[in-house]
Amino acid sequence: MSGIASLLGWSFLPNVSPLSKQTTCTHLENPRPKQSLESDPSSPSSKQLVTGWAQTLYYGITIRAGDPKPQPGTPRYAEHRRRIHILVVSLYLLYTIYEADYELQRASSFYTDLGVPLNATEREIKSRFRRLAALYHPDKAASDADPTQVNNYFVHLKTAADTLSNPARRFAYERFGPDVVNWQHCKTIHDHVVRGAQIVVPYYAIAAAFMYGMGLLGYLDWGRFERWLVLVSVFTFEVHTITRPTFPAALDRFINPVFTSMLKRAPYLPFQAIQLARKLSLTVYIAFSQIGPLLSADTSGGQVLVGGRKGISEEVALRQGLDRLEATVHSLDADAGRLLETEMAPYAGDDVMLKTVRTRVKEWLVQNTIRSDPMVRDALGRSFTKRRVDAPAGAKGNR
């Protein structure tokens, strides 16, 4: 859910920092007319501030003292703005991937906690746990140690050993992570796979519904086909990973050997690779939304115009919106007319009944309009307040 929320925030986030009244930018995915960001100085985008600082630093390094700098509103300034913003967003997205990988490594795994390799046998795991239990058992803890922390760590080691010693639990842990420890009534590999599928399928169903809804609203137009391709690819990779008895070939033969030999770090487990794949897909979606339209943006007029709307005026965009609204109103009117004809079908051929229905409907419309009119209600209210409070029953007249 946090990933979807992040994508939603990025989808509505403005893209180019306001520097002058001449520099405007349309929303990357919004079909509404372009708006100047100068009117919103409190925009929450820190990327806009970084873009402005980076552009200032770039001019300070590349332009000699005394030489004129590009001014806001000129094509050269807008082009530099576009390129620097692409670089800033790209670097930040790469950092989010690194941060996700760092969090996975810091969280460690049952294998690293026990200090055993991924191909350790059940006998090796139990032997390793006995050695660790001799060191970290609560009865052997130092007198100044926190009993709660010592006990929790020992329980964690025992849970790790018990999980990896059970073939079915070990299979499930490698593919679904430590949450399998809390899965009750799962005994076999089939039980764990079914339980995991009940979590995976709704996740991608919600993601697909979110993308479809945002597409209908016009916020995910750029790279629409590529977005669905990424979603299907990640879903296929996850399904393949959780249903196969071995690790994915790319993970086992390429990624883990390279990372462990060059970076001296623990190898990825399948559930960690799945988490990184999800994070990478979200990064790609954000790149489609924030960077993609900027690649073909028009800066010839001194403005960063994106989304293939080069030089479009607000008047033209407004006219297009009004045309779409008018078409929608006509469609609703036609539907209402057909619905009314369907309701009146039982009275077809009966002129007296049709006349009665029309009269009653007209009276209801008139009365309902009068009663709901604010001026009529106000006049009635003033009239009631003027009536004599202490007048006897049937008395007429006001104070």
Nearest to 220 by CA among 147, 293, 298, 149: 293
Provide the mean pLDDT of the chain: 79
Q: What was the pLDDT predicted at 161? A: 93
What SS3 class is residue 25? Answer: strand
**What distance lies between CA 170 and its chain's CA centroid?**
32
- 387 φ, ψ (degrees, to nearest 5): -65, 150
Residue 305 backbone phi and psi in degrees, to 5: -105, 120
361 phi, psi to nearest 5 deg: -65, -40
CB 163 within 8 A of CB 173: yes
- Residue 193's pLDDT is 93
Cβ 154 vs Cβ 138: under 8 Å:
yes
Q: Looking at residue 45, what is its pLDDT?
A: 53
Closest C-alpha to 138, from 156, 153, 160: 153
Residue type for position 73: G
DSSP string, 192-209: HHHHHHHHHHHHHHHHHH
Q: Tell me the mean pLDDT per 10 residues along the chain, length 399.
A: 50 41 36 37 55 86 85 87 89 90 88 92 93 86 80 92 93 93 90 92 92 80 85 93 90 86 86 92 86 83 66 63 84 84 76 81 76 73 65 54
Which among 132, 133, 131, 118 is positioned nearest to 164, based on CA atoms? Answer: 118
Distance in Å from the first CA to the final CA of the chain: 66
Length of the chain: 399
- Tens-place pLDDT, residues 31-70: 333 333 333 333 335 666 788 888 888 888 888 877 888 8
Q: How many whole angstroms separate alpha carbon 125 and alpha carbon 168?
A: 15
Provide the 8-state DSSP code for 253.
I
| Residue whose structure tokens are 């990973």 | 241
Q: CA 225, CA 200: separation in Å to the nearest integer? A: 22
Q: What 3-state DSSP class applies to 46?
A: helix
How many whole angstroms separate alpha carbon 20 and alpha carbon 272?
A: 45
